[in-house]
Structures are given as structure tokens and as C-alpha cells.
């Protein structure tokens, strides 16, 4: 089941826009997977995350299997310093609430925004800057 079958082009664009914003705010890399996972959804998501290679440490993967009604958020070692389990759990609750209301795209888009907000790096101002 490809994401293209589940999401319209407009919905994909909205999700990608939110991914770009989350990346800009946090300095982390966000990846979204929507589709079939095997019975071990967590293991499948970890393998996808690991396939990001050198980027995995600074990456957040959101994996959604709509057919199995499963969601996994995997963070790399560096990303986990900015995005703790509590923040991921809050985003997951928000996403699953939207999913259960039939809003797959809105759930993903909103969840990415929440994750980006929680991982946001504060802007550093120096005393010689206004």
C-alpha cells in the first residue's frame, strides 16, 4: 500500500511543508513512512531508520501503517537529546486521535509540527546583538 494511494498530492504537499518547517526549527532530519509494515512494526521502523545511514543519529522517523493501525516514532541518538520519549508520546497521542477520526494526513502533519516544536533549538542571542 503506497502512500500515494492513501494521500492526495495536496495532503502530501502539506506534510512535506510541515517536515521542512520542523527540520528548520529543530536542525533534525524528519522522515515519514506511510505504508505496510510487517507484524513487528517497531522492528520494521527501526530498520527503516537505520537505512538512513549516517543521517540516522540526527533523524526522526514517523512510520504509519494505516491497515494495521500502528504508529512508531524512532529517534536517533542525537535526535533523542532534543526529543524525549514524553514529547514523542504526546505527538503520537495527537496523531492517533486524528487517525481514529479518519484524518490520516492531518494527523501526520500535526504530529510533525508537534515534534518539530518540541525539538526546536532556541535562537541564541549575544549581548552585542539586538
Q: What is the mean pLDDT of each run of 10 residues along the chain (130 residues)?
A: 72 97 95 93 97 96 95 97 95 97 96 95 65
Q: Tens digit of pLDDT for each residue in 18-39?
A: 999 999 999 999 999 999 998 9
Architecture of domain 3-119: Roll (3.10)
Q: What is the pTM of this model?
A: 0.88
Residue 118 grid cell:
518540541
Amino acid at each position: 500500500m503506497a502512500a500515494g494511494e492513501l494521500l492526495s498530492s495536496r495532503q502530501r504537499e502539506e506534510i512535506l511543508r510541515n517536515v521542512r518547517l520542523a527540520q528548520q526549527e529543530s536542525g533534525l532530519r524528519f522522515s515519514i513512512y506511510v505504508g505496510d509494515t510487517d507484524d513487528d512494526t517497531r522492528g520494521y521502523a527501526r530498520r527503516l531508520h537505520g537505512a538512513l545511514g549516517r543521517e540516522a543519529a540526527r533523524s526522526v522517523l514517523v512510520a504509519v501503517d494505516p491497515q494495521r493501525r500502528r504508529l512508531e516514532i524512532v529517534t536517533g541518538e542525537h535526535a533523542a537529546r532534543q526529543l524525549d520519549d514524553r514529547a514523542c508520546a504526546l505527538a503520537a497521542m495527537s496523531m492517533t486521535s486524528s487517525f481514529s477520526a479518519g484524518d490520516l494526513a492531518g494527523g501526520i502533519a500535526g504530529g510533525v509540527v508537534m515534534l518539530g516544536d518540541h525539538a526546536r533549538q532556541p535562537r541564541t542571542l549575544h549581548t552585542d546583538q539586538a
